Amino acid sequence: MTFLPFPARPPAPLIFEQIMVPLEEKKEYVRRTFASISHKYDFLNSLLSLLVDRCWRWRTCRLLNDFPEGPVLDLCAGTMSLSRELARQAGKRQVFSMDFCENMLKAGVKKLQDDPCNPRIFPICGDGEAIPADGNLFCGCTVAFGVRNLVNIPMDLTEMYRVLQPSGRLLILEFSRPTNMLFKPLYTYYLHHIMPRIAGICVNDKKAYEYLAQSIALFYEPEELLALMREAGFIKVERKKLTLGIVSIYVGIK
C-alpha cells in the first residue's frame, strides 16, 4: 500500500507513522484536517511565523507585477489570504480563489465582507485536478502552501499549465527545508515539537499540525519540484529562497 504524502519519496520515519494514511484517502484526510482548523488558520499562520507569512505573500504577488489587469487563478486558496494580497497589489485584477475545502473558503469569505477588494475576488469550491475553466485563460496561477497537500502533483501542474495563457506565470509559494547546518536542527525541532504544541493549545488539534510538519519534512526537494514543473511544460523555472530557505517561491513560465 502506498502512503501519503508523496509516493516518490522514501518511507516516512517511524515517528510519523501514527498519522500516515493510505494515499487514496489523502484527499479526504486533508479536507477534514483543514476544515477542523479553518476558524483559526490565519491567526496560527501569523503566530507560528511571527508575522513573516505576510512578507512571503507580498513577495510572491510582486512577481506578477507584469500582469496588473489580467485574471489570476489562486489554487489551494484556503482562507484567501494570498487572493486578497493579489487583489490589493493590482486595482483592476480579478482573482479566482479555488479550494476543495468549503470550510476554509467560508472562513475567508467572512474576512472579505469589509475588504474593498471583495468585488474582484471570486471564491470557487473545486478540485485542482480538474480546474473548471477553459484553457489559456489566466495570466497568472498561484499556489500558497498547498502543493504539498495535493494527491497527484504532476496532474495538477498539467492543469495549471493548461489554464494559463501563453507567457503566463506560475508561482508556487511553499515550505522547504533549510540546509544551513546551524539553523537546520533548530528549525527541525521547532517544526516537529514546538509548532504542534502551540497549535494544540490554540485550536485543540495537535494532530493537524503534526500532519503539516510531516508534509513539510517529506516534500520534494526543490530540484525535484522544478523538474516536475519542466515535465508539465513550464520553462525558465527557478527557485527563490526566503527566510534562510524555510520557504521558497517556485516560478515557471508557459
Residue 45: is its pLDDT beyond 90? Answer: no
Mean pLDDT of 199-226: 87
| Residue count (the chain) | 254
**Domain 24-253, CATH number (from 3.40.190.10, 3.10.310.30, 3.40.50.150, 3.30.43.10):** 3.40.50.150
Of 79 and 3, more confident: 79
pLDDT at res. 120? 97
Percent of the chain with pLDDT over 90: 67
pTM reported for the whole predicted model: 0.89
79 is annotated as contributing to ligand binding? yes
- What 3-state class would DSSP assign to 232? coil
128 is annotated as contributing to ligand binding? yes
Give the Cβ contact number of residue 223 at 10 Å: 9
Candidates 232, 74, 229, 63; CA nearest to 145 is 74
99 is annotated as contributing to ligand binding? yes
Phi then psi dihedrals of residue 146, to 5 deg: -130, -20
Going edge to edge, which strands form the sheet with 95-99?
121-125, 95-99, 72-75, 138-144, 164-175, 247-253, 235-242
Helix (H) or strand (E) holding 212: helix 206-217
Of 21 and 166, more confident: 166
115 is annotated as contributing to ligand binding? no
